Every structure is written in C-alpha cells, then in structure tokens.
Structure 1
Amino acid sequence: MEMYQNILVVVDPTTNEQKALKRAIELASKINENSATPTKITAFFSIFDFSYEMTTILSSGERDAMRQMVIKDKQQWLDDIIAELDSGMDIKSQVVWHNRPFEAIVNQVLEHGYDLVIKGTHQHDKLKSVVFTPTDWHILRKCPTPVLLVKDHEWPKNGNILAALNVGSDEEEHLSLNNDITEQASELAKLIKANVHLVNSYPGTPVNISIEIPEFDSSEYNNAMLKHHKEAMAAHANKFNIDVKNTYVEEGLPETVIEQAAQQIDAELVILGTIGRTGISAALIGNTAEHVIDQLNCDVLALKPQGYISPLDNS
C-alpha cells in the first residue's frame, strides 16, 4: 500500500508553534526515504471576520479587496513560519475566507484529493464539546480521508502504536475497518520503527438482564464473551503476524479500555475507526473516537469505513 502522498496540514493561526506542521514534515520525510514519489504538504487555514461582511459603507468590490488584503497578510505569516522550519521540503501554503473552518477543510480535501489531514488538537472543554461541536469533531465525522490529530507526545524510535479494533462483530463494515486499521498500523510501524499492539473492548453483562432473569449466570456469560473476543483477536493478530502478547482484550467501555491500554504501553499513536454521524444523536452521544481523543495524551489517527462519502460532497 502506498503511504500518504498528498497531506493537508491545518494550521493554528493563533500560535507560531505549529505541532501539526512539524509532525507532517517528520512523517513526510520518513515516507520520502522509502518512496520514489515525494509526498506533498500544503499548510492551510481559513479566516473569517464578520466586520468585513457587515459594513454597509463599502461596495462589494471594496469588501472583496479588503478580504484579499487580510488573506495576503495571513499568507505571508504562514510562508514565514514555513521558511523558519527550514525543512528542505517544498511546502505550499493556502489561506481562504470561510466562516466554517471544518467545511473549508473538507472542501479542500474534496477539491484537491488530499489523502491525509493533520491537525493539532488539545483537551476540549467537556461541556462545550457536547453543546458546541468543535472543528475537530466535525472533521472526524465529515472528512472522507484519514485524520491525524496531533498532541504533544513525541514519536520515539521503537515506540508503540495501538490499533483499536472491534473484533467481536461479524458485520462487514467492522471487519473491513479492522483490516484497514491494522494495515495502517503495520505500515506506519515499519515507517517510524515502532511496535504494533491491538486492543479490543467488549460489553459486560447488561444490568437489566441480571435483574429481570435472576437465574441468569452473569459470570458464565462474561467468560463466554471474553473467550469469544480473545479467539477473534488471536485470529486477527495471527493474520497480520502480530504477537498475541501485544493484544489486549478487556471488558468495559471502548474509551476506558483504549485509554488504559495506551497508557500501559505509552503509545505515541492510537489508530481507530470512526463512523460519521449527523443530527441530534451526534450532538448528544458523540462517538467512541471523540470520547477517546479527549482522554488520550498521544496522537490519534481516525479512519473512515471504505466507501464513506462525506455529507459535504456535492459531486
């Protein structure tokens, strides 16, 4: 499988410390060592200032000219940051005027065929991430390509990559996503000289069953669930030549089990699948990827199922 050839880096215009851009350079330089085709990087962000839209004393042409001035100014700032990094790579820059950052990002992906989006992230306010969906959540749900959210954890040599799977399911979508996640983990591990670990959670006995059916043997049920998931995990690990010692199968919520496994091995990267959600269920429930990201102190690579089409894709 060809590793990423065309990377879109979402720049944070509020800081000169661009960890996403640095990670992109680190990743691209490793890809370029092993590939005949150099990986392209575009540094990008969108800006919007409502005051330019609202003023009535300017004609639409004057407003447009002012917008272009702001864009040019920001583009110069971005070019200066790229020059300071002195990566030796040809990194393009692009700034657009758009009032919804996540739409601007997804539009770039759809228009220019980027195969990876890299963005810096940080702890989200727990309450706000339910009421106001941050840009990260929108990108995770609506971006058709893999999204790498970068935190502050280094990528040391001989470090650990954790692939979060759903091996208990026989749904085609989950099976194919498990394969994609494990393939990506294996390819990246080769690239950055890391070890691959696999993690899977499974639900315990539903409480209402124990109450409604007193004779229900919950420990027997749990043992059967554990056995089923361990066997499925061993078969999956075997298929990808991953040592069963590097697999974790635990009862509990995915976000808890993944976080514990990531801490245990001090993972520098967690790879997981995300299914796009819209509407009220997305706002209220969120999804596993989102809960996990808030709890981890390392990078997260989120993959979509094959055939996923972004709700913003009008082609």
Structure 2
Amino acid sequence: MSQYQRLLLMINPALRHSQAINHAAALARASGASLHIAALIPPIKGLSMLEEGAREQVSKHYLLDHRDWLQGQADNLRDRGIEVTTEVTWAEDMKQDIIDHVTDMQPDLLIKQIQHESTLKRAFLTALDWYLLRHCPIPVYLVGGSSFVLPRKVVAAVEVSEIEPADNELNDLIIKQARGLAMQCNAELHLLYACDISAAYLADFGGLTLAELTQSLRRDLEKSFLRLAGRYGVPSDRRHLIEGHPVRVLSEFANEHQVDVIVMGKVQSHGMGKLLGSTTEHILYQVPCCVLAV
C-alpha cells in the first residue's frame, strides 16, 4: 500500500512556469493518491490606490483568470487518470494559510516549489519555505531544479550517533519515507551520512592524541552507519559515508551523482546535542534537486 493517499500542492498561480504541478501529478499517479491543488494569491500591489469599484473589478478578473487557468491544468491531469481537485483564493497570511490548509485537509504530503529568497531578506524575515520546514506538521516536498518529474535516484541523508537516541528515531522516519518514495517511483535508494568530526569538540582525552581520538570516533560512527544501512538492507554500493560539513557534502554529492530527491530531517543534531536545523534549510539553496523534509 502506498504511503501517500492524499497530496496537497500549494502554488502561486502567477508562476505558471513552475514545475511543481508536473512533479505533484507524477507522484500522485505513481502512488495512486488524490491531489488537491490550492492556489493562494497574495494581495495585488497598488490595488489600494484604485477606487473601490475599480478595485473589485480588477480583483474579480484577476481571480477568474487564475481559476480558468488552473481548471485547464486540472482537466489535463484528469485526462491522465489523476484524481484532482482545485481551489483559488486570496491569501491574507501566506504562512498561516498554508498551515491552516494542512491542518484542515490532513494530507500525507505537502508539495511546493522552492522559493528562493535573498540573503538580505532572510536576515530580517523568515523565508516561507524555512517557516514550513519549522512549523508544518507533515512531510514537506520542496520541488527544486530536477528536470525529471519522477525521481530516479533518492538519497536518505541520515545522522548517526551512539549517544543521541533521537537521531535513531529520526533516521527511521527519513529512511522509511525515502524507501517508500523510491519504491513507488522505481528509483534507486542511497544512504548518505555526512560525517562532520570537528576539532572544536575534540580534546585530549585519556592520553589519546587528537588524531587518535578523531580516528577512533570515525570508526565508531562508521560502525553505527553500517549497522543502520544493514538494518534496512541498503546495498554496499549505495552506502556513502563522506567526511565534511553536511551542506557541502550533500551539495557536491547531489551534483556529482545527479540526485533527484534528498530526504532529510527538518531538525537534525550534530555532536554534543548541537541543533542544526539550518542544515536542511540551507540545503534548499545549494542543491539542484528536490528536498523532502520529514
């Protein structure tokens, strides 16, 4: 049975070139899920400068234009055997409106195009995608630059540790979600651990040198990683333990291996319980593929 029964796609209807509809439709068809497309329209800039009658007329035509366009998209999807419903409405508060849709509909997956924001803007405001990663109660599938609507290569990005049981629970969620997606799409499943052994929290301990302690820690982490991979039956040629910072490692791996989807935790810990939720958030701007956050 598919892990997806109902998909929710949130779109900005003004961005009609977005690939999000094609990605969502392909996933719905592969999994047999129904698809609901909600087009939320932000307020029109400068509309308040018009007289009331003109404002209503412009708003009405703007809304009808987007509804007609989305209806045409939905008709095409129904012709392909996909069960799809649509809605077009104004958004008072985009962030909260999306969360409210998720709460009301209880879908299995929220799908949305990645929305790139400038570094300056992110410094003062929480980007919409970052907000969803932090607050959405269900898995979030953010559509990136991959040209293939159905993934051919899915990477589960995990974090292994001997002292963080929460990591084991999160790893299970990540791998199960990635494995289900790969099975539905007939894609390869790879397991990747970016091993970031920072000298910042390694010190002389028990007479060991820093190099010896680093090597010992790496061996322990590698054993944990191999146990995890073995538990889920991941073939040896699809297990990847790479030293380095997670953002850099994942970005380079995605580029070099033509990854289509990276499955990650919304918040992950790295050594000494340090929370690095921003790892997943920053990945959105670094990798040429989709990101599925659980």
TM-score bracket for the superposition, by shorter chain length: 0.7 to 0.9
1:262 equivalent in alignment to 2:254: yes
Deviation at 1:46, TM superposition (A): 1.5
Q: Does 1:295 align with 2:289?
A: no
Q: Using a 3 Å threshold, how does the CA distance of structure 1 residues 53 and 143 change in structure 2: closer, same or farther?
A: farther
CA displacement at 1:25 relative to structure 2: 1.1
2:183 partner amino acid: K
Quote the offset at 1:288 in angstroms: 0.8
Say if 1:87 and 1:127 are closer, same or farther in 2 by CA, change over 3 A.
Answer: farther
Distance 2:202 2:160 in 1: 24
- Structure 2 equivalent of residue 10 of structure 1: 10
Long gaps (5+) in structure 2: 269-275
Give ranges in structure 1 of 5+ residues lacking alignment: 33-38, 277-284, 304-315
Per-residue CA deviations over 1:9-31 (Å, capped at 9, x if unaligned) read: 11232232231111111111111
Are 1:117 and 2:106 an aligned pair?
no
Report % sequence identity: 24
Match of 2:37 in 1: 43
In 2: Cα distance, 1:90 partner to 1:44 partner: 14
1-structure distance, mates of 2:262, 2:202: 34
In 2 relative to 1, CA 109–226 (structure 1 residues): closer, same or farther, beyond 3 Å?
Answer: same
Check 1:128–1:48 CA distance in 2 against 1; reply closer, same or farther (3 A cut): closer
Secondary structure of the residue aligned to 2:247 is helix
Structure 1 range deviating more: 124-133 or 263-272 = 124-133
Q: Which amino acid aligns with 1:287?
A: S
Code of the aligned partner of 1:43:
I
- Count of residue pairs the alignment pairs up: 285
Partner of 1:271: 263
1:242-253 pair list within 5 angstroms: 242-253=234-245
| 1:159-179 deviation digits (Å, cap 9, x = unpaired) | 321111111254333211100
Quick one: which amino acid aligns to residue 214 of structure 2?
N
Partner Cα separation in structure 1 for residue 162 and residue 57 of structure 2: 55
SS of 1:201's equivalent in the other structure is strand
**Structure 1 vs Structure 2 CA RMSD:** 3.1
Q: Does the CA-based 8 Å contact 2:156-2:262 persist in structure 1?
A: yes
After the TM superposition, which residues 53-202 of structure 1 pair with which residues of structure 2 at under 5 Å, given as runs? 58=52, 70-84=62-76, 86-121=79-114, 123-155=116-148, 159-168=152-161, 170-202=163-195
Deviation at 1:102?
Answer: 2.1
What displacement does 1:156 show?
8.2
Q: Say which SS state the counterpart of residue 15 (structure 2) adopts.
A: coil
Secondary structure of the structure 1 residue equivalent to 2:160: coil
Q: Secondary structure at the match of 1:89?
A: coil
Q: Deviations over 1:15-54 (max 9, x none)?
A: 322311111111111112xxxxxx1111112223267995
1:203 has 2:221 as partner: no
In the superposition, relative to structure 1, how do residues 174 and 68 fare at CA in structure 2: closer, same or farther (>3 Å)?
farther
- Mapped to 2, the partners of 1:65 and 1:189 lie a distance apart of 47
* Matched residue SS, 1:114: coil
Partner secondary structure for residue 119 of structure 1: strand
The aligned amino acid for 1:187 is G
The CA distance in 2 between the partners of 1:155 and 1:81, in whole Å, is 19
Task: Give the letter aligned to residue 31 of structure 1.
Answer: S
Give 3-state SS (helix, strand or coil) of 2:119's partner: coil
